[in-house]
Chain A
Amino acid sequence: MFSKPENGKMYWKELIHQCTEIGFGSLGIVAIISVFIGAVSTIQTAYQLVSPLIPPSTIAQIVRDTVILEFAPTLVCIVLAGVAGSRIASELGNMRVSEQIDALEIMGINTKTYLILPKIVAALLMIPLLVVIAMALGIWGGRLAGVASGIISGSIYDKGLLEYFVPFNVIFALIKAYVFAFIISSVPAFYGYFVKGGALEIGRASTKAVVISCILILFADYILSALLLPT
């Protein structure tokens, strides 16, 4: 399927371009979602912890683990499947329909290597980074909401974050991020690359790619949790 690049420089340029598109292009939405998810988590956790026997620092622990284990990798990747996935599918679909892919083939370029591989590599590099950023922003958003609404003080929240911290949770989240990144880039690339027809089919392929990616992300989430988390 993939072959040795015809010109390393051009592939590198394309990789950087894709990193910019996937990484920086999605940074804004990822930041907004993460902060609000963390904030809502803090408020809802506080609402559910009614027992005076449970210390307030537990709120921070719950927010931290929920954000790291589930919200940052899974929710962010589902959003990325919509943002980056639909962009990949529609870009390749448009290139296919307007014969740009044929033009590259005629030039003697392996279009799968030139168009798909940089997208997958860029997703594998940038999405885990976005997930790490989402973790930090989610936890910070939780702190912000907790302090602003008077649920928990900043120092107690910070103390709670350090209690019972399991480093494996971060590794687990990164494993999920890599698997999801592969899904987010390869599934839309497949649907976009092999689109047939016109503008309507590009839209359909894009929607289908996002739906399939989301289902696969949720399925992979379940499988990875069942396999990797000791219960």
Chain B
Amino acid sequence: MIEVKNIKKSFGDKTVITDVSAVMKAGQCNLIIGTSGSGKTVLMKCMVGLFEPDSGEVLYQGENFTKMKGAEKTEIRKEIGMLFQGSALFDSLTVEQNVMFPLSMFTKDSFKKKLDRVNEVLNRVNIVDANKKFPSELSGGMKKRVALARAIVLNPKYLFCDEPNSGLDPQTSLVIDRLIKEITVEYNITTVINTHDMNSVMEIGNYILYMYKGNKEWEGNNKEIIFSKNERLNDFIFASEFLQDAKDMRMLEETGKISNDRNMDELLDKDAPVLIPPPDDK
């Protein structure tokens, strides 16, 4: 479990995070969502120690990470895996060497044992026959999966994912989301995901923290978010007409105004019967 308590962070005169607190539990996907510039990445970097918060605390299993000195911090960091937005694979190393890197650095295992573990995690993320390829030879989705394999190779307790779906097509995004979800549950990891992909929010958001201009604006889960009354959150989630329509349809379903057998495909078909009653009828 990770607890964030009253985190504040400024860069010069600009306050980026103003007093954010949250509790992120193990075995679930904890999502930080918000518009660009809302402070999600800075919050995540404060959590992993890449930025020092001006005030506040980050607690890993109750231990204050922000107060820790070098060696103690290193011990916690060994339990952290991170998937970066741009994958951050080492260009000069092959897929195999990239994934093996943390093992070589922090274990004294034999090469055979390390290779077995590398192949195990690569299989887990569905990467086959790519051990000897360099990152430049991989597609965006493959890079993310290799980076995910590298992040989990040491069996971390905490997994951080910074916009895991950026630059990926919806299908590949879904594959990555499901993979993260499965790994989180399988290894009981505390996973923190920074995203503004609404598909991810609905698919894997066990806990969702919505940030607006550096503040915690809303928190809840993927069931509650649809019916949230928070105007800013609604503006963010239902930015597209399609999702607004989807929400209206859910609302109508919930209130029994339309039958549940209608599906989303109908919303895409402009010639289909009008699902949402005109304003007068509401």
**Binding stretch for chain A, among B21-29, B102-110, B178-186:** B102-110
For B77, what are the chain A residues with a Cβ–Cβ distance below 8 Å? 105-108
Structural contact, A10 and B105, CB atoms closer than 8 A: yes
Chain B nearest CB, measured from A19 CB (Å): 15
Distance A109 CA – B160 CA, assembled complex (angstroms): 17
B78 contacts which of A3, A7, A99, A107 (Cβ < 8 Å)?
A107
> Which residues of A79-119 have CB atoms within 8 Å of chain B's CB atoms?
94, 98-100, 102-103, 105-109
Structural contact, B88 and A98, CB atoms closer than 8 A: yes
> Which residues of A155-190 have CB atoms within 8 Å of chain B's CB atoms?
none
Query: Nearest residue in A to B108 (C-beta to C-beta)?
Result: A7
For B105, what are the chain A residues with a Cβ–Cβ distance below 8 Å? 6-7, 10, 107, 109
Structural contact, A98 and B86, CB atoms closer than 8 A: yes
Structural contact, A106 and B104, CB atoms closer than 8 A: no
Judge if B238 is at the interface, Cβ distance under 8 Å.
no
The answer to whether A106 and B106 touch (CB under 8 A), given A3-B70, A98-B88, A100-B90, is no
Judge if B85 is at the interface, Cβ distance under 8 Å.
yes
For A108, what are the chain B residues with a Cβ–Cβ distance below 8 Å? 73-78, 80, 106
Judge if B84 is at the interface, Cβ distance under 8 Å.
yes
Chain A nearest CB, measured from B14 CB (Å): 16
> Which residues of B44-89 have CB atoms within 8 Å of chain A's CB atoms?
48-50, 70, 73-78, 80-82, 84-86, 88-89
Judge if B91 is at the interface, Cβ distance under 8 Å.
yes
Chain A nearest CB, measured from B63 CB (Å): 15
The answer to whether A10 and B102 touch (CB under 8 A), given A98-B86, A106-B48, is no
Structural contact, B84 and A6, CB atoms closer than 8 A: no
For B102, what are the chain A residues with a Cβ–Cβ distance below 8 Å? 107
A105 contacts which of B50, B89, B91, B106 (Cβ < 8 Å)?
B50
Structural contact, B91 and A102, CB atoms closer than 8 A: no
Structural contact, A102 and B88, CB atoms closer than 8 A: yes
> Which residues of A2-49 have CB atoms within 8 Å of chain B's CB atoms?
3, 6-7, 9-10
For A102, what are the chain B residues with a Cβ–Cβ distance below 8 Å? 50, 82, 84, 88
State the 10 A-B residue pairs at the shortest beta-carbon distance, nearest first: A108-B77, A108-B74, A103-B88, A99-B88, A106-B82, A99-B84, A108-B78, A7-B105, A100-B88, A10-B105
Given contacts A99-B85, A107-B105, A108-B80, 6 further A-B contacts (CB under 8 A): A3-B70, A10-B104, A103-B84, A103-B88, A105-B50, A108-B78
